[in-house]
Amino acid sequence: MVKRLRLLPAVLYAAVAAVAIPQPAKLVMITEVWAPYRMNDSSSPSGFSGIDIDLMTALEARLGIPIEIRRVPWARALEMMRDGQADLITGIARTTERAEYMKYIPTSYSAVRPMFFTQKGKGAIVKDYADLLGKSIGMSLHSSYFPRFDADAALSKVGLSTEEQVLKMLALGRIDLAIGTDPNLSWDISRMGFRESVEPTVWQPADNTPLYLAVSLKSPAVGIVDRIDEIVRALLAEGVIARIMASYR
C-alpha cells in the first residue's frame, strides 16, 4: 500500500505533464519555391511538389496532425516564424540568430553544399577564397551559405529575392558571380536553360550545410518537437527520406 502511495505522485506528475502540452489542431508550414525541395505544381493542393512536400505528407501521416502549406517569400516566412504566425518551416539552415525565435528539430533530414557559378568560360576567375574580393556576388536574401562567407563584410554581396533571379542576373552579365546551394542551383540552371551560359568556378567551398525542420518558439508545436524528431529519425532509418530524395534526381 505504501509503495503504491509513493508511486502516485509520479503518476500524477506524468498526467499533468501530458495535459500541459496540448496537441496543435493544425500546423501551418510556410515556404517558397526552392527546387528540388519545393517546386511549383498546379496539380497539387498546396501548389507545390518536391522533397519537402513529400516529407510533410509522411510527417502528417505519422503525427496525425494536418499540415497546411502556405506560400510566402523567404524573408516574410522568417518574420512569420519570429512572430508566431506560422508553426513550421522546412529546409532551414541553423544560425545563431534564427535560434532566437525558432526551435530546430535536432535531426537533420538532408544537406546541401554551397557553390559559386560564373559566366561560361570564366571559371578560373576564382581559384581560392581570396579571389571573391572585389567581385559582385549575387545571393538570395536572408540565406546562410557557409560561416566564412556569411560573416565576411568585405565582400560585394548583391541580395535578391530568389536564386532564380540571381541566375538571371549572372547570365545577363550584371553580376560577376552567383552563390547558391547544390543540388538546388544545378536544378535551376538546367531548368532555365543556362547550362551553356554559366559554369562552376574552379574553387568551391568544402562546407556542407545540414537542413532542418524548425518550429516557431511562439507556436504550440514547441511541445511536440521531440515527437517530430522521433518521426524524422524513423523516416531516415527506414529509408523513406532516401527514397524521396532519389525520386527527384
Supply 145's cell numbers: 551559405
**Per-residue pLDDT for the chain (249 aa), expressed as one digit of tens each?**
544 445 445 444 444 444 455 788 999 999 999 889 999 999 999 999 999 999 999 999 999 999 999 999 999 999 999 999 999 999 999 999 999 999 999 999 999 999 999 999 999 999 999 999 999 999 998 888 999 999 999 999 999 988 889 999 999 999 999 999 888 888 889 889 999 999 999 999 999 989 999 999 999 999 999 999 999 999 999 999 999 998 887
Calpha distance 88→227 (Å, rounded)? 14
Q: So what's the pLDDT on residue 21?
A: 57
- Relative orientation angle of helices 51-63 and 225-237, to the nearest 10 degrees: 120
Which pairing describes strands 48-49 and 39-40: parallel, antiparallel, or unpaired? antiparallel
The answer to whether the beta carbons of residues 162 and 168 sit under 8 Å apart is: no
Residue 166: predicted pLDDT: 95
Give per-residue pLDDT as tens, 68-113.
999 999 999 999 999 999 999 999 999 999 999 999 999 999 999 9
Q: Which domains does the chain have, with CATH numbers?
A: 2-110+209-246 (3.40.190.10), 113-200 (3.40.190.10)
pTM confidence score: 0.73
Contact call for residues 183 and 36 (beta carbons, < 8 A): yes
Per-residue CA distances from 111 to 92, 138, 233 (Å): 10, 21, 15
* Alpha-carbon gap, residue 245 to 70, rounded angstroms: 22
Cis preceding linkage at 183, omega within 30? yes
Instruction: Give the pLDDT confidence score for residue 90 in this predicted structure.
Output: 97
Which three cell numbers, joined as nine digits, stand for 183? 543540388
